[in-house]
Structures are given as C-alpha cells and as structure tokens.
Amino acid sequence: MYTVNFPGLANQYRADFPILSQNINGHPLVYLDNAASTQRPTAVIEELARYYREDHANVHRGLHTLSNRATALFEKARASVARYLNAKQAESIVFTRGTTEGINLVAESWGTQNLRRGDLVVLTEMEHHANLIPWQIAARKTGAILRFLPIQGDTGEIEWNELEELCRQGNVRMIALTHISNSLGCINPIKYVCQTAKKYGAVTLIDAAQSAGHAPLDVEDIGCDFLAFSSHKSCGPTGIGVLYGRKELLDSMEPYQTGGEMIVSVDWNEAKWKPAPHRFEAGTPHIAGAVGLAKALEYLESIGRHRIEESDHFFGLAAAERLRELPKMRLLGPAADRAGIVSFQLGSIHAHDLVAFADQYGIALRGGHHCNQPLMRKLGLMSSARASFYFYNTEAEIDRLVSVLRDAAKYFGE
C-alpha cells in the first residue's frame, strides 16, 4: 500500500508500554505526540521504583553504604550515556534538566565568555525557541550577531552551501542547529555542518532533542563540540537531560550555577571549581532520573537505533502519503528524507480545533506554534497540527488518523 514497508516494531515492543493500552474518551488511545514526549516502557518505570525502594541516598556526599551505592549508579549512568553517544570520556557528560538547560548552559557559560562584539552565531530558521532565545541573550550581552540559514518554503530545505559562504565572510564563532526539526521533520546534515565549522574554527552545538531517542548518534563521528538532549523524548524520565561537551571546552568554561558539590574549596570571598562535569552539577542532581535514563538507553539499544530510525522514516513517509489524500491539506516538511514528524494545516481549521476534535476520538496530536514562532510566521501560519510517531505506533493508527481528520474536515465545513 505504501511506497515504504512497515518495519513492524510495534508487533514486538508495543506491549512494553502499559500507558498505550487504555481508552481515551471511549476510544483506544492513538498516541501521536511523541515529539513532545515519548512514553516509558515497563523496564524504565520499574527501574525508577526499584531505585527508590532499594538504593536511594544523596550522591558524592555520604560515606555510608547507601550513598556509595547511589553514587555508583549515578556515575554508571553517566558512563552509559557516554557509551550511547560514543563519547571518549564519561566526564564529557553533564546531567541537566533537559535540552533547554543544556543549551542555556552553553550560551551563558561558553557564550558570554567567548563571544565578542561583531562575532557571528549561526542558527537555522527552524530552531526551537530553546536554541534561539539563549543565543539572543548571549548576543545581547556580548554584542555578537545572530545569522539564520534560511529555509526554502514548506519543505524546510536549506541551501547548506550558504553556510560556507557565511563562514568565509564573517567571524563565525558558533554554529548551533537542530538535528531533526520538531515541526518540519527535516533531518539536517550535522556532520557536514561540523566539518565546515572546524575548517573555519567555529564551535558547534547540536540540539538532538528529536534525534537522540530515534537514531544512532556518534559524537566522535559527527565531530560536534556540544550536543544536548532530553531523557523524556527518549523513553526516559522527565526532568533530566544530557549535555555532551568536549572535555577541554567544558573545563575552560565557568559554572552555570553554583552551590553544593561543584567546588574543590570555598573561602569567605572566593571558591574553586571542580573540573567538568561536576562544576556544572550544583546541588542534588536528579539521581533517579539518571538511573532511569540509563535504563531507557539500554532499552533503546536492545531494539537497535537503526531499526527505530527506519521505523520513523516509514511513519514520516507513510503518514505524509496518506495525509496528502485529504482535500485542502497543506503538509510541511521535506518530501523524501524525513523523520517521523508530520505537521500540517487542514483547510482553514485552526490547529487547536483539530487537536480538540481528534482528542474526542482518542487521538493525541499537538497543535500550536511548536515553540517555532518565527518559523510559523515565515510560513504564513499562526500554528499547525502535528502527528509525531515512534516505533510502538502501528499502520492502523495512520488509517485512524486519516479517517478522523476526514470527519473533522466535514464537521468544520472544509
């Protein structure tokens, strides 16, 4: 039926997600809001409970057995994340609250220390607010200038050779971009961007919020300086995320927050910081979150990230193919190489109305500007509706989505 084949991971793994087997508003739940947050498998839910039941104490402080056990688990989680990203050292992994905090940390600490008046920070027009506003603030504080690689209409494609042009012309110090766009579903050529940046001595930051739980990521191969992602979009707990940074860069940066456990020594008027990652982890961290995240990454690896990537590819293409059948459908994002994220505008129906209509039939979509206000404005939209898929979704759920949207079009007179 489709030009791509259903990889069928749901047959094997859907049962691992207890939340999916419920009715919403009298209909079986069709969860298509995975770009906002994925669901958790039983293995992660149970690991969190087990940690609190058996191993919890504060980390890096106590000398007692429980504290040592919690510390060992927390540091083991760091090592697991490093392995997952193929980082050379566990010390390159900073635990944060999520992608947003990771990018804020870099923009504030690296940015305000290194950017000078007239330096360029290059972003794309499809950045999430979390990879835009921190740079606006860093630019305001330092006199640096933001430049945006433009997208080409609804497909979101970018002329990547413009990056090299920019690098040739100006003093580009930082290139920060998303790997997978949360609203367009484009997959950006991050390795090419990092290679170009290196040629011109620019530092790179990858927003991997939409890719870390969906595709293989190898920071050595990509060649990035920083990469941030969130656990809750990768089957792990909320409230925890990861910032990968090249160790020498992290060690050259001032702390983002200060307080307990990030210091070597403190006097009344001054303090000395620990090396990275601990200088960036002031206060009691989200220990259970780190333990749960390690379990989530183990779970994803047991499925195979290539298989998840292939599954996303199927859903992105198949959903786009089917949605195109609907009259007055305006689809956003690229035609071919796309992730499992499909945003659209159906006639003149407001995205919020569409989401509310779909919810009555148990379908969870997102509608709004997706934290991409300037992008939506450029596309001439106030908002869009978005279906975002994961490996536990089924082909039948695409059918259900299309059928409910058909009914919505009738209901709203389109």
If the CB atoms of residues 172 and 176 are measured against ligand ALA, the closer one turns out to be 176
Q: Contact region for ligand ALA (CB under 6 A) — 24-32, 58-66, 200-208, 364-372?
A: 364-372
Annotated active-site residue in 167, 186, 194, 371: 371
Which of 85, 93, 40 shows the shortest CA–CA distance to 305? 85
**According to CB under 6 A, which residues from 111 to 130 bind ligand ALA?**
128
Q: Contact region for ligand ALA (CB under 6 A) — 78-86, 311-319, 363-371, 402-410?
A: 363-371
Task: Yes or no: say if 121 and 135 are a contact pair by the CB < 8 Å rule.
Answer: yes
Residue from the set 93, 219, 227, 371 that interacts with ligand ALA by CB under 6 A:
371
Q: Contact region for ligand ALA (CB under 6 A) — 56-64, 172-180, 330-338, 365-373?
A: 365-373
Write down the least CB distance from residue 200 to ligand ALA, Å.
30
Write down the least CB distance from residue 388 to ligand ALA, Å.
8
Write down the least CB distance from residue 84 to ligand ALA, Å.
21
If the CB atoms of residues 142 and 182 are measured against ligand ALA, the closer one turns out to be 182
Residues in binding contact with ligand ALA, number by CB under 6 A:
7
If the CB atoms of residues 296 and 339 are measured against ligand ALA, the closer one turns out to be 339
If the CB atoms of residues 154 and 281 are measured against ligand ALA, the closer one turns out to be 154
| 371 in catalytic set | yes
If the CB atoms of residues 33 and 91 are measured against ligand ALA, the closer one turns out to be 33
- Confirm or reject binding of residue 409 to ligand ALA (CB under 6 A): no
- Confirm or reject binding of residue 364 to ligand ALA (CB under 6 A): no
* Locus of tokens 């183990």: 298
Residues 6+ apart with CB under 8 A from 183: 126, 332, 341, 343, 370, 372, 375, 376, 384, 386
Task: Yes or no: say if 38 and 233 are a contact pair by the CB < 8 Å rule.
Answer: yes
CA–chain centroid gap for 389, Å, is 14
Q: Between 19 and 58, how does the x/- string for binding to ligand ALA read (CB under 6 A)?
A: ----------------xx----------------------
Residue from the set 106, 366, 375, 397 that interacts with ligand ALA by CB under 6 A:
366
Write down the least CB distance from residue 371 to ligand ALA, Å.
5
Residue from the set 370, 375, 381, 392 that interacts with ligand ALA by CB under 6 A:
370
If the CB atoms of residues 243 and 291 are measured against ligand ALA, the closer one turns out to be 243
Q: Between 146 and 185, how does the x/- string for binding to ligand ALA read (CB under 6 A)?
A: ------------------------------------x---
Residues facing 244 on adjacent strands: 93, 227
- Confirm or reject binding of residue 214 to ligand ALA (CB under 6 A): no
- Confirm or reject binding of residue 70 to ligand ALA (CB under 6 A): no
Q: The tokens of 310 are what?
A: 């292939």
List active site positions: 371
**Applying CB under 6 A, which residues contact ligand ALA?**
35-36, 128, 182, 366, 370-371
